[in-house]
Amino acid sequence: MGSEVRITMAGRQGSARRAGVLLTLRAEAAALVQQGWLIASDCLRSSSQRIENAERVVVFVHGFMAHGAVFAPMRAHVEAATHLPTVNFTYNSFEDFSSVAERLASRVAELSGPGGRPVSLVGHSLGGLLARFIAHELDARAVIDRIVTLAAPNQGTERVRGLPLGPMARAMKPESDVVRRLDNVRSKVPCVAVVAGSDWLCTPPMSAASIEGADVVWFENLGHNAMLFDERVFEVVTKALR
């Protein structure tokens, strides 16, 4: 992480952190249940805003073993607050990382259209790595105007070591080619990195703050999945997209 990264501590600290551990665990459990319900209910909806004449489009990219449906509450908040159309990008978590990245870049180009309309990206966990990768390594960077990452393992996560989870999970290892290519690369577009200080999946949590030149917002007593449904995070994402 470069010296120019600006970190805003948005959560509680000190003794409040110890008191918040149980609440964090409960919030994570509730978030997992809510994600499961959203996926089972197939809430992968179309944007309520018209895309054709929009000046900008926001694309949400989910994390490992998730689905675009988990963004439904956040997308609804963003659309109501910004009046921007939003869409999901859903992928198979057992595909090859480069194939998914190429498809995401193609989707961004399609949404941008012949006029080069700006496209903003919001990526949770592995989705944050995909967003950064296409902005820095593929031609999609020409139309991406900003990126918001949510608990993204920008320097990898120790949690995936030794787990036979396929090529997408291997991309999140600290020594992976994806992490190596993005490490210490100054963001070519404005970037906000949101960190869950009580993250047990992106470990250490500081990995999510490691984007050169990014604005970092750190929520101390917040877990990896609970941030998808936290109204404070909704506000940070909305502000970043305005």
Over residues 9-21, the pLDDT tens digits come to 665 454 455 556 7
Residue 45 above 80 pLDDT?
A: no
Residue 168: inside a domain, yes or no? yes
pLDDT single digits (tens) 59-72:
999 999 999 999 99
Sorted by sequence, the CB contacts under 8 Å of residue 70 that are 6+ apart come out as: 34, 35, 38, 39, 62, 124, 228
Flag whether 210 is in a domain. Answer: yes
Residue 189 within a domain: yes
Listing DSSP states for 104-154 in one string gives: HHHHHHHHHTTTT--EEEEEETHHHHHHHHHHHHSGGGGTEEEEEEES--T
Q: Is residue 16 part of a domain?
A: yes
Does some domain include residue 88?
A: yes
Name the domain count of the chain: 1
Per the structure, the complete domain to which residue 127 belongs is given by 6-41+54-216
Has residue 68 been placed in a domain?
A: yes
For residue 232, which phi and psi values (nearest 5 degrees)? -65, -40
- Is residue 48 in some structural domain? no
CATH number, residue 209: 3.40.50.1820
The string of pLDDT tens digits covering residues 171-186 is 999 999 999 999 867 7
Average pLDDT of 21-33?
83
Is 26 a residue whose pLDDT tops 90? no
Query: Is residue 225 one of the residues assigned to a domain?
Result: no
